[in-house]
């Protein structure tokens, strides 16, 4: 697992990149505000319900949550499942909303 900053991700999105984003928050949090990531709550990842991500095992996956804690856990679990390029959005959506106003 590596870290990616809000500034780095925002710049990549602004340049038209379409990275594999995974929102590991709960449905209600995702519905309130999201940056376009695929919603896979941390509980599903903990239960190894990651079939929809299997095709991305060797691609970059950027996980995010509210603050970076749950997404860090998700990255660690995905790494243990054989994913090779996971990144945790440092500071999560709190940092994103602070930076991108």
Contact residues for 72 (Cβ-Cβ < 8 A; gap 6+):
1, 63, 88
Residue 67 CA: distances (Å) to CA of 5, 18, 37, 90, 95: 12, 22, 15, 8, 7
Please indicate whether residue 65 is annotated as part of the active site. yes
**Under a CB-based contact definition with an 8 Å cutoff, are residues 4 and 75 in contact?**
no
Q: Select which of 1, 62, 63, 65 is catalytic.
A: 65
Residue 35 CA: distances (Å) to CA of 17, 19, 49, 81, 92: 13, 11, 22, 25, 11
Residues labelled catalytic: 65
């Amino acid at each position: 697992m590596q870290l990616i900053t809000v500034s780095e991700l925002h710049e990549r999105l602004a340049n038209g990149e379409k990275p594999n984003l995974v929102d590991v928050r709960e449905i209600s949090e995702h519905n309130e505000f999201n940056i376009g990531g695929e919603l896979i709550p941390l509980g599903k990842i903990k239960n190894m319900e990651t079939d929809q991500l299997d095709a991305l095992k060797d691609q970059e996956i950027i996980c995010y949550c509210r603050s970076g804690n749950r997404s860090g856990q998700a990255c660690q679990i995905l790494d243990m499942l054989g994913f090779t390029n996971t990144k945790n959005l440092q500071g999560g959506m709190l940092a994103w909303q602070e930076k991108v106003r």
